[in-house]
């Protein structure tokens, strides 16, 4: 087998092992949650016989190993189970919610990734001068403020004072693309401000590290313009760490949007998870947790594989 294909196959196998380990942790974590879902459904006035019957009907009287194997077996056959609190198919409900979350993450990534790389390049070009200091100060300030506070501040100034966008980000299939973009404008701003600093600073640090190389000094001695040196020589050789941090932040845009979705009442997976955690609907919590883990592991695998493909030292460690 080709060495690169072998490395990629190893990473994929490791990803599946990590996902299997994550499924065990999710199942154990949800199994030890306090409370009783049967009690939540029937209420405090339920009789012991009714509770026992409902637990038997929901399969809660089976052993943990049996329930785990049944859960994993269902997932392998494309069945995420049924929500205990409303009897709806989890896969159908999650499909809509996941689509909404990916819609929000896509537009946030479309703005934040190019902007972060541009600001990183600009900071390198004007290193230790006022543009570099201004970019670093603004991005570090935004990342230091909790995202819920950024959200409320933007709601107050952008939605209430200026009246530019809606403060509630509810979308549905009957809305046009323009209406949806108007509804998610403020959450996209929040997510962009939250992830911008990581990617900008990693871009700046990676390019500055490459700029210390001998061939960059040679290019400078030849009299090449600084922008040309950065664009043609420094940036392509710094792409691996930049891709890594971009992928990590893309993962955050999908799995870390719980707070933003709750603040803006956005109908995504985060809001869906929070609603069912309150009801102790374990199958929904397990399905959401597994999908979040799968997305996070998959994007990290992509970052790892891209690093291998773009860095000869990783392909030939000796």
Question: From first to last of its 318 residues, what are the pLDDT tens digits of the chain?
Answer: 677 777 778 888 888 899 999 989 988 887 777 666 666 666 667 777 777 777 777 677 777 788 888 888 888 888 887 887 777 888 888 888 888 888 988 998 899 888 988 888 888 888 888 888 888 888 888 888 888 888 888 888 888 888 888 877 888 888 888 888 888 899 999 888 888 888 888 888 888 888 777 887 787 788 778 778 877 777 777 777 788 788 888 888 777 778 888 888 888 888 888 888 777 778 888 888 888 888 888 888 888 887 777 766 666 655
The DSSP secondary structure of the chain, one letter per residue, reads --HHHHHHHHHHHHHHHHHHHHHHHHHHHHHT-SS-HHHHHH-TT--HHHHHHHHHHHTTTS-HHHHHHHHHHHHHTT---B-TTT--BHHHHHHHHHHHHHHHHHHHHHHHHHHHHHHHHHHHHTTTSHHHHHHHHHHHHHHHS-HHHHHHHHIIIIIIIS--S-SS----TTS-HHHHHHHTHHHHHHHHHHHHHHHHHHHHHHHHHHHTSHHHHHHHHTT--HHHHIIIIIHHHTHHHHHHHHHHHHHHHHHS-HHHHHHTT--SHHHHHHHHHHTT-HHHHHHHHHHHHHHHHHHHHHHHHHHHHH-HHHHS--
């Amino acid at each position: 087998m080709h060495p690169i294909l072998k490395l990629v196959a190893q990473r994929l196998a490791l990803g599946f092992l990590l996902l299997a380990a994550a499924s065990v942790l999710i199942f154990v974590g949800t199994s030890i949650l306090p409370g009783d879902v049967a009690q939540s459904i029937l209420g405090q006035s339920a009789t012991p016989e009714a509770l026992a019957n409902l637990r038997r009907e929901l399969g809660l009287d089976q052993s943990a190993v049996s329930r785990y194997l049944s859960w994993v077996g269902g997932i392998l056959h494309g069945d995420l189970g049924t929500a205990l609190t409303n009897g709806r198919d989890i896969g159908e409900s999650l499909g809509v919610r996941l689509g909404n979350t990916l819609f929000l993450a896509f537009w946030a990534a479309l703005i934040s990734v190019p902007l972060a790389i541009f600001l990183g390049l600009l900071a390198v070009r004007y290193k230790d001068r006022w543009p570099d200091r201004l970019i670093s100060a603004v991005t570090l300030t935004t990342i230091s403020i909790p995202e819920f506070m950024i959200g409320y501040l933007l709601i107050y100034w952008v939605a209430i004072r200026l009246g530019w966008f809606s403060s509630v980000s509810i979308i549905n299939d009957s809305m046009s693309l323009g209406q949806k973009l108007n509804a998610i404008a403020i959450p996209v701003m929040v997510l962009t401000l939250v992830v911008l600093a990581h990617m900008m600073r990693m871009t700046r640090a990676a390019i500055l590290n490459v700029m210390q190389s001998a061939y960059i000094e040679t290019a400078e001695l030849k009299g090449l313009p600084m922008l040309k040196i950065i664009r043609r020589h420094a940036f392509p050789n710094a792409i691996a760490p930049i891709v890594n941090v971009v992928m990590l932040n893309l993962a955050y845009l999908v799995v870390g949007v719980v707070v933003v979705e709750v603040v803006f009442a956005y109908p995504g997976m985060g809001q869906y998870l929070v609603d069912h955690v309150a009801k102790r609907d374990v199958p929904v919590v397990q399905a959401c947790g597994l999908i979040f883990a799968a997305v996070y592991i998959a994007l990290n695998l992509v970052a790892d594989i891209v690093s291998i493909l773009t860095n000869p030292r990783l392909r030939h460690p000796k």
